[in-house]
Amino acid sequence: RKEVEQDPGPFNVPEGATVAFNCTYSNSASQSFFWYRQDCRKEPKLLMSVYSSGNEDGRFTAQLNRASQYISLLIRDSKLSDSATYLCVVPRGGSQGNLIFGKGTKLSVKP
């Protein structure tokens, strides 16, 4: 299994739809995980942290499944402005200082 693996997409959804992305990781020692968002030709920015109990922030919900070694990101009531690439991020070796980025899942929200 690759260190971090994501479906590249693209996910093309209409406004208002609910969409979910999964990300699998190989290092079972990893304790915390992150979702970053990257707009076209921009730098990545932190969207959410994912802890063992999951995390919800408005329309966004991130969850962790340790047994199956995957994390998910759910976006409800998607907006045009949600169009971006979503990067799954896992610490290598359990260390916060060395973060491994997935290649990202591209989301395109259409009117």
Site size toward another protein (CB under 8 A) is 21
Binding residues for another protein restricted to 58-97, rule: CB under 8 A: 87, 89, 91, 96-97
Q: Is 2 one of the binding residues for another protein (CB under 8 A)?
A: no
Residue 9 near residue 20, CB atoms below 8 Å: no
User: What is the rounded distance in angstroms from the CA atom of residue 91 to the CA atom of residue 42?
Assistant: 22
7 Cβ neighbours under 8 A, 6+ residues apart: 21, 22, 105
The conformation of residue 9, written as its DSSP 8-state character, comes to -
The piece of 12-20, 28-36, 56-64, 71-79 that touches another protein (CB under 8 A) is 28-36
Interface residues with another protein (CB under 8 A) are: 32, 34, 36, 42-46, 49, 87, 89, 91, 96-104
